[in-house]
Structure 1
Amino acid sequence: MSKVCRDLRIYLRLLHVMGMVCWHFDSDHCQLMATSGSERYAVVYAGCILVSTTASFIFALLQPNRFHIAIYNQTGNFYEAVIFRSTCLVLFLVYVILYVRRHRYRDLVQHILRLNRRCVSSCTDQQFLHNIILYGMLTILCFGNYLHGYTRAGLATLPLALCMLVYIYAFLVLCLLLMFFVSLKQVMAAGLIHHNQQLCQGDLTSGLRGRQQILQVCGGELNECFGLLMLPIVALVLLMSPSGPFFLISTVLEGKFRPDECLIMLLTSSTWDTPWMIMLVLMLRTNGISEEANKTAKILTKVPRTGTGLDRMIEKFLLKNLRQQPILTAYGFFALDKSTLFKLFTAIFTYMVILVQFKEMENSTKSINKF
């Protein structure tokens, strides 16, 4: 199984199957090749996704009553409608971005794969394997939650099938991209570890040059390519995150299920957003690039001074390191690291409180109108 994960092959295969990339990996030359057949497959697949998401968006816009959930009030149904349409929109944007920038993505991934060959040991293969196993387990949990939750909510057959198809496919696509991004970050972090080890062994020129090349890729192409993708994905996860607690408050805690159903519905609503949140936390907490980049300064402060030009190079590097900005960002909007987690959780809690307040206001208005 580790051979399948070597060089990120399993990710590249899954991305190709889902029409997000049009490359084949040449293991002998460590090169990503795009054939005319793979190009056609990607175009046709992406075209089908664009048509499907557009049709789903328009259907939900023109037929909102078909998606009405009886156990929800107007606030809950409006929130569900926003989530569904936003999911269609994000899928549309992701496929457009991936296709328009496909050559840039190929060059970036190929560069990182070659770095993986040069600098990284086989331990990263285990990390890639663990990531893909987690992805599979979370997909199963996500499928079970959506199937049970929307079935018990009383959705009709057509909107139920459409919601299942859109949400599960969105999870497969978006979370695969998140996992791929996490794995690329792990390769870059492992490359920095390799160059820091060179610095510890006294190979300053090679170590600093390799480190600088990696950080240029991180702050340049990796930010440009994946930062643009992460922005709509993180925004969608942020929008969806209050849906589980809101479902719990609106249904289970208000006694809309029988006592024998409450336990399973409590479990479903409690884990409703868990797959998305785990992927988001994993993406933001995998911060080895910044940690290893900061370790370089500590290593260089211990290097004995020789009175040569090397001393000036080290001093210049240390001075620049003090003003170092976040390495990875979502296209400049926020840093893709642990510092963002607290802000996102605060925003999620705030959105949930606002939703609950609107729900309570609607219930109060209905009670007053009865009198």
Structure 2
Amino acid sequence: MNNEIGYQFSTFVSLQRPMNCTMSNVCRDLRFYLRLLHIMGLMCWHFDSDHCRLVTTSRSEGYAFAYAGCILVSTTVCFIFGVLQPSRFHIAIYNRTGNFYEAVIFRSTCLVLFLIYLILYVRRHRHRDLVQLLLRLNRRCLSTCTDQQFLHNIILYGVLTILCFGNYLHGYTRAGLAPVPLALYMLVYIYTFLVLCLLLIFFVSLKQVMTAGLIHYNQRLRQGDLVSGLRGRQQILKVCGGELNECFGILMLPIVALVLLMAPSGPFFLISTVLEGKFGSDECLFMLMTSSTWDTPWMIMLVLMLRTNGISEEANKTAKILAKVPRTGTGLDRMIEKFLLKNIRQQPILTAYGFFTLDKSTLFKLFTAIFTYMVILVQFKEMENSTKSINKF
């Protein structure tokens, strides 16, 4: 971490030293996120609640190295097996286009999981500093509403995991897969969902922490504490546009790309099998429900991540608050005018490593891209059917 970022962190942390930082009953649900992240080998730190620190020990370092190594080896083996034995993964009831598409999804999933663990392990200390900083911010700006949001996020995560598991198990079992590819599909897809969606909701929770911090400092501004309020607000926006983008933007890029690739799979399976009468009347209804909700868990998590953007809303409220501050004809007026001229136009923009913005404006583009891929897949399927018809004559 360079000196500028280190100074930014040390300056902001110096603001987080009130007596309530020693409280042990806050960050309750965030600690649950940290436990899950630790169990999955994503962020292996010990949380010292008394001092609000994330402590790295030799044991946690060993666990992170061993876990990341196992995942990297496992995903590599699965990827190679999928490349060398593509016929083992063929679904008899599916068409050739569909099987090729499934093979691409499986290999891409292995590759994305490999990249996620590699990135998190290489940049683990930088992620630790960022999360520790936001944990301290959460303690300073504790909000019952924010705490409830954390709980709602984790409940949604659990419900969608169950739905995802049920869809995959029922769909691939009814499709007639052999035991080995069925086990690999279930293991790779369910574990990938657990990992990637946990990172998504953790990212959403961190954004909610920063939103709560901006609400806190806007309230300070309303109370007349202009110096502390503006300083705290600016530091939050610097972290948002700096370290939060650097640490999580690079993770969001492969995650969003994978979801974009997987999104047409459910509707395409529905068109290629259920609507073409490849299932009996007793199975048709169940397969219709499974294929229609196949990608729902992924899409809900993606929409949640892109729609949760209270940071910009709270940042824009600062101008309205400062505009209502009575002018006194002192240096305070000049400070407010200088701030409005230089800083108020700065928007906290979160991006996927600069490729696209992580906000509501991206949703329409993603759904448009998904629909386009869907049309392309259907066209390939129709070409395949036409070729088969010609070959019969």
**2:136 paired residue number:** 114
The equivalent position to 1:45 in structure 2, one of 67, 77, 85, is 67
The equivalent position to 1:56 in structure 2, one of 56, 78, 81, is 78
Looking at structure 1, the residues matched to 369 and 113 of structure 2 have their Cα atoms a distance apart, in angstroms, of 23
What's the secondary structure of 2:94's corresponding residue? coil
The equivalent position to 1:356 in structure 2, one of 375, 378, 384, is 378
Task: Please state if 1:160 is matched with 2:182.
Answer: yes
**2:220 paired residue number:** 198
Contact 2:252-2:352 within 8 A present in 1 as well: yes
**1:309 paired residue number:** 331
Looking at structure 1, the residues matched to 344 and 149 of structure 2 have their Cα atoms a distance apart, in angstroms, of 31
For 1:318, the aligned partner's letter is L
In the alignment, structure 1 segments of 5+ residues that lack a partner are: none
C-alpha displacement of 1:369: 1.4
**2:14 paired residue number:** none
For 2:312, the aligned partner's letter is S
For 1:359, the aligned partner's letter is K
C-alpha displacement of 1:10: 0.5
**1:14 paired residue number:** 36
For 1:186, the aligned partner's letter is Q
**1:100 paired residue number:** 122
Looking at structure 2, the residues matched to 325 and 119 of structure 1 have their Cα atoms a distance apart, in angstroms, of 22
| Deviations 1:208-240 (CA, angstroms, capped at 9, x unpaired) | 000000000000000000001000001100110
**1:282 paired residue number:** 304
For 1:139, the aligned partner's letter is T
Task: Please state if 1:267 is matched with 2:289.
Answer: yes
Q: 1:202 to 1:168 in 2, by over 3 A?
A: same
**2:146 paired residue number:** 124
For 2:313, the aligned partner's letter is E
**1:177 paired residue number:** 199
**2:19 paired residue number:** none
Shifted more, 256-265 versus 219-228: the winner is 256-265
Looking at structure 2, the residues matched to 5 and 157 of structure 1 have their Cα atoms a distance apart, in angstroms, of 43
Percent of pairs with identical residues:
88
In the alignment, structure 2 segments of 5+ residues that lack a partner are: 1-23
Looking at structure 1, the residues matched to 234 and 27 of structure 2 have their Cα atoms a distance apart, in angstroms, of 27
For 2:327, the aligned partner's letter is R
Looking at structure 2, the residues matched to 4 and 58 of structure 1 have their Cα atoms a distance apart, in angstroms, of 46
For 2:241, the aligned partner's letter is G
**1:299 paired residue number:** 321
C-alpha displacement of 1:287: 0.6
The equivalent position to 1:65 in structure 2, one of 80, 83, 87, is 87
C-alpha displacement of 1:253: 0.6
Task: Please state if 1:36 is matched with 2:76.
Answer: no
State the number of aligned residues: 370
Looking at structure 2, the residues matched to 248 and 334 of structure 1 have their Cα atoms a distance apart, in angstroms, of 30
C-alpha displacement of 1:334: 1.0
TM-score (structure 2 length as normaliser):
0.92
**2:241 paired residue number:** 219
Contact 2:29-2:151 within 8 A present in 1 as well: no
Q: 1:314 to 1:4 in 2, by over 3 A?
A: closer
Task: Please state if 1:148 is matched with 2:170.
Answer: yes
C-alpha displacement of 1:110: 0.3
What's the secondary structure of 1:32's corresponding residue? strand
Shifted more, 313-322 versus 48-57: the winner is 313-322
C-alpha displacement of 1:325: 4.1
For 2:233, the aligned partner's letter is R
The equivalent position to 1:27 in structure 2, one of 49, 61, 79, is 49
Looking at structure 2, the residues matched to 160 and 4 of structure 1 have their Cα atoms a distance apart, in angstroms, of 43
| Deviations 1:235-259 (CA, angstroms, capped at 9, x unpaired) | 1001100111011111111111011
| Deviations 1:33-80 (CA, angstroms, capped at 9, x unpaired) | 111111111111110000000000000000000001112111111110
For 1:168, the aligned partner's letter is I
Contact 2:146-2:209 within 8 A present in 1 as well: yes
Looking at structure 2, the residues matched to 174 and 355 of structure 1 have their Cα atoms a distance apart, in angstroms, of 25
C-alpha displacement of 1:326: 4.9
**2:361 paired residue number:** 339
The equivalent position to 2:231 in structure 1, one of 206, 209, 214, is 209
For 2:352, the aligned partner's letter is A
Looking at structure 2, the residues matched to 226 and 317 of structure 1 have their Cα atoms a distance apart, in angstroms, of 29
What's the secondary structure of 2:54's corresponding residue? strand
Looking at structure 1, the residues matched to 198 and 26 of structure 2 have their Cα atoms a distance apart, in angstroms, of 16
C-alpha displacement of 1:320: 3.8
Contact 2:311-2:348 within 8 A present in 1 as well: no
TM-score (structure 1 length as normaliser):
0.97
What's the secondary structure of 2:44's corresponding residue? coil
Matches within 5 A, 1:248-263: 248-263=270-285
**2:350 paired residue number:** 328
